[in-house]
């Protein structure tokens, strides 16, 4: 398979090439607000399996998603008032929410689904253009460090991804905070603090 490498600076071409790739069942390496990510159409079960194979990870491992809107998030998960409040308050931004999964998300792993609305211009525009969710998994081999360099991403996924969007070297940022709405617990602390989340939720009690 010949991999297309397109510069993120050529924004329109990069979006068009990646949309075409994902709609045709392929996977792509894209920049996100943290590291490079491996994107597939979240609703495409075969493409999600390609993600697992490319990362050399168990097919049972849960895959989080990036969505363009609350409406699309509700296609994959059940969002209660807490989840909707946190989406309204912090998204797009460095927050990932875990909510009960719908049957449409069963192939993404488990009884719950993790999602975020990305603050990265490219990732958000890609989802918006597709009108659907994409996988949000990092572009790295399972168990290895995240990738921040387009050159490294090409070395690792050059024969596995149909498209690589080259945004150069990404600045290293803290991962998103992960909050599980099913247990009311913070699973990973990132830029958004537990206090900020509690304060936001206190306003709807």
CB 106 within 8 A of CB 126: no
CB 48 within 8 A of CB 58: no
CB 141 within 8 A of CB 52: no
- Domain spans in the chain, listed from the N-terminal domain onward: 4-202
Q: Report how far residue 141's alpha carbon sits from residue 35's, in angstroms, rounded to the nearest whole number.
A: 13
Per-residue model confidence (pLDDT) at position 68: 97
From 189, 168, 70, select the one nearest 122 (Cα to Cα): 168
Per-residue model confidence (pLDDT) at position 198: 94
- Tens-binned pLDDT, residue by residue, of the chain (205 aa): 688 899 999 999 999 999 999 999 999 999 999 899 999 999 999 999 999 999 999 988 999 999 999 999 999 999 999 999 999 999 999 999 999 999 999 999 889 999 999 999 999 999 999 999 999 899 999 999 999 999 999 999 988 999 999 999 999 888 889 999 999 999 999 889 999 999 999 866 5
CA atoms within 13 A on the CB side of 179: 27
- Tokens (6 digits) for 136: 């949000």
- End-to-end CA distance of the chain: give it in Å, rounded: 54
From 22, 4, 24, select the one nearest 13 (Cα to Cα): 4
- What topology does CATH give the domain 4-202? DHBP synthase (3.90.870)
pTM: 0.93
């Amino acid at each position: 398979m010949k991999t297309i490498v397109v510069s993120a600076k050529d924004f329109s071409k990069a979006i068009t090439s990646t949309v075409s790739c994902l709609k045709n069942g392929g996977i792509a390496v894209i920049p996100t607000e943290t590291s490079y990510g491996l994107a597939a159409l979240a609703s495409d079960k075969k493409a999600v399996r390609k993600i697992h194979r490319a990362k050399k990870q168990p097919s049972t491992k849960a895959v989080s998603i990036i969505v363009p809107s609350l409406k699309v998030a509700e296609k994959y998960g059940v969002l209660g008032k807490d989840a909707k409040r946190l989406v309204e308050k912090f998204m797009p931004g460095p927050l990932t929410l875990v909510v009960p999964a719908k049957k449409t998300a069963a192939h993404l792993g488990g009884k719950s689904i993790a999602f975020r609305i990305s603050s990265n211009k490219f990732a958000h525009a890609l989802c918006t253009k597709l009108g659907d969710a994409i996988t949000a998994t990092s572009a790295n081999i399972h168990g290895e460090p995240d990738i921040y360099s387009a050159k490294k991403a090409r070395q690792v996924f050059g024969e596995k991804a149909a498209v690589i969007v080259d945004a150069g070297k990404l600045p290293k940022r803290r991962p998103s905070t992960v909050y599980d709405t099913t247990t009311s617990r913070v699973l990973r602390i990132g830029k958004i603090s537990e206090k900020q989340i509690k304060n936001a939720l206190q306003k709807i009690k």
